[in-house]
Amino acid sequence: MDVEVGSNLYRNTDGMVEIEGVPQIQLALKPTTGDLLVNFALFDADGKVTAKLIDSTLMVNERRAYEVDRTSKSLRLTHLASGAVILQMDVKGPDSVAFTKGEFHTIKGHVIHVSPTEWHIDKLRVSGTTQDLKGKSVVLG
The number of CA neighbours under 13 Å toward the Cβ of 116 is 1
> Using one digit for the tens of pLDDT, what is the confidence trace for 91-139?
999 999 999 999 999 999 999 999 999 999 999 999 999 999 999 999 9
Identify the band that residue 22 occupies on the pLDDT scale cut at 50, 70 and 90. very high
- Domain ranges in the chain are 2-128
pLDDT value of position 73: 97
Taking alpha carbons only, the member of 62, 9, 61, 58 closest to residue 38 is: 58
Q: Give pLDDT tens digits for 51-92.
A: 999 999 999 998 899 999 999 999 999 999 999 999 999 999
pLDDT (tens digit, 9 = 90+) per residue, 25-59? 999 999 999 999 999 999 999 999 999 999 999 99
Q: Is 23 exposed, middle or buried (0-12, 13-18, 19+ CB in 10 A)?
A: middle
Decide: residue 43, CB within 10 A, 0-12 exposed, 13-18 middle, 19+ buried.
buried
Q: What are phi and psi of 36, to 5 degrees?
A: -75, 130
Determine the length of the chain: 141
